[in-house]
Amino acid sequence: MAFEKRVSLHRSGKKALRGARAVGAVPDDETVRVTILLRRRAEPKTAPESGGFKSMTHEQFAQFHGAEPKDLALVNAFAQAFQLKVVESHARKRRVVLTGTAATMSRAFGTSLQKYVVEGTGQAFRGRTGVLTIPSELQDIVEAVMGLDTRSAVQPHFRIHDASAAAVGFTPQQIGSFYNFPTGVNGTGQTIGILEFGGGYNASDLETYFNKLNIPVPNLASVSVDEGQNLPGSSVDVEVMLDIEVAGTIANGSNIAVYFGPNTDQGFVDAILDAVHDTTRNPSVISISWGGQEDSWTQQALSAINSALQDAAMLGITVAISSGDRGSADGETDGQLHVDFPASSPYALACGGTSLTVSGNAISSEVVWNDGAGSTGGGVSTFFALPTYQTSAGVPSQPQTGFVGRGVPDVAGNADPFTGYQVRVDGQDILIGGTSAVAPLWAALVALINQKLGKSIGYINPSLYAIAQPAFQDVIQGDNDSSTLGSYAADPGWDPCTGLGSPNGGALLSALQSSPAD
């Protein structure tokens, strides 16, 4: 009889969340929604991260790299056998979404679902531990099963300026001017996708903010992912408004699509897939200002999200991701160095942070952002190998493990809340910093460049490392050591604090205009 022999699902092991305690079994009749990610029909013959990769259309992607119809059919048969409902079966996204009761899901994936509460915060979630199992027929087909566990996966990377300390804030337009962003363009014809995992925006705040700057409110759409919604009224409204206002001010002619998903690993990967494969809004650049320590994710989640970001690279979509605000340890106190994911994906344009000193209308100095309370994330991945484009960048091996991994970040920009961005959130005008601001800053720059070039620059990492100077202001002072671990310090050229440096937008545009056409 089919689906009787079971095997372990590779890389699905999940540990108990530190600081959380089990408070009982999940009721058998609780509805559970899972996302199953399937293998590609074929992997690309030329890896995008090696450079020289020609992006493709959505139709070409579906034909060559989507899921096989027979694989989808087999997963659908598995669902039927275990009394699970198929909500979606999508070949291009390689995704099958199922719903069922907790009891049937536990039986289908060989696990036990428990209710947990996080000590101190009272946050409740549905969780699991150990390795999942699947029928042997699916062993070579299924790459990840996500959604059984609903613990929070990511946090936003913003920092609010302490109002008791003196500060000099700037509008996003001023910061774009400091970085010599291209003029005569406003992102017309581009769509910037922004991913959010909590909070929301108020239309009245946006109208007040943009009217004050004497520019129109951008064309804005809210997109639901896994039933996520625009829900203003929480502290993370700061993240949502910061992202919209930075991107929407600098690239004011762009359309902006905000994808709201649940703060889970399932919600995260589904939001990326929905944005990347959105043929209605067609984002040419995506901004993500959320993340978590690389080793806080399961290996299947790391691989699934990295695969979704590779989809973006193959489709010619730039994805700018903040590198974190908690220094070289990424906020951990275990004595280990950590980088933030998904910034550590080789398919992310990882964005680090600097602190500016401005004289008149120009930058007089720029150093690594590290003000004691917050600092740019950066370092060396312990999961992703060194990508081809960083071979000559001088990325060190990870000091504690010796692993020669992906270096983070790639680029940088103003992130110091004391030289922060003037934004409006929930009826208040405030100053915000953090690498959360740098991702939409770079996304807006890419939208301007795309308009100027008349095409999408897409997966830009290999080109950036080939161009390097003079398209960047090299940041050579400061460090992001926030845990007395001694790492990392800025150096000439690429470094694990600010990457290649902050942008000279006009020089970057000129260099890309001189690059060979696709």
Examine the domain organization and report whether 254 and 116 are in the same domain. no
Angstrom CA distances, 21 to 28, 108, 122, 453, 463, stand at: 20, 25, 10, 54, 47
Q: Considering the domain boundaries, does residue 187 fall inside one? A: yes
Is 311 an active-site residue? no
Domain assignment present for residue 457? The answer is yes
Domain assignment of residue 77, yes or no: yes
Specify if 477 maps to a domain.
yes
How confident is the chain (518 residues) per 10-residue block, as mean pLDDT?
90 94 97 98 84 88 96 98 98 98 98 96 96 97 98 96 78 98 98 98 98 98 97 97 98 98 98 98 98 96 97 97 97 95 98 95 96 96 97 96 97 96 96 97 98 96 91 97 91 97 97 74
Residues 325, 238, single domain; the answer is yes
Clarify whether residues 290 and 394 are in a common domain: yes
How much is the pLDDT for 411? 98
In a domain, 1, yes or no: no
Residues in the chain: 518
Do 299 and 419 fall into the same domain? yes
Catalytic one of 205, 237, 239, 340: 239
465 with 339, same domain: the answer is yes
Instruction: Answer whether residue 166 is part of any domain.
Output: no
Same domain, 11 and 120: yes
Q: Are residues 475 and 344 in the same domain?
A: yes
Active-site residue flag, 243: yes
Judgement on whether residues 14 and 128 belong to the same structural domain of the protein: yes
Whether the CB-CB separation of 349 and 335 falls below 8 Å is answered with no
Which residue carries 């566990």 as its tokens? Answer: 149
Options 287, 436, 456, 482, the catalytic residue: 436
Could you tell me if 69 and 200 lie in one domain?
Answer: no
390 and 463 share a domain?
yes
Report CA-CA distances (Å) from 165 to 162, 168, 283, 425.
6, 10, 39, 20
The answer to whether the CB of 262 falls within 8 A of the CB of 150 is yes
**Do residues 99 and 31 make contact, with C-beta atoms less than 8 angstroms apart?**
yes
- Note whether residue 168 is domain-resident: no
**Catalytic residue list contains 295:** no
Considering 88, 122, 146, which residue would you say is the last residue of a domain? 146
Answer yes or no: do 422 and 296 share one domain.
Answer: yes
User: What pLDDT is recorded for position 76?
Assistant: 98
pLDDT value of position 518? 47
Which residues span the domain enclosing 26?
6-146
Structural domain total, the chain: 2
362 located within any domain: no
The active-site residue, picked from 243, 270, 325, 366, is 243
Q: What is the CATH number of the domain that holds 378?
A: 3.40.50.200
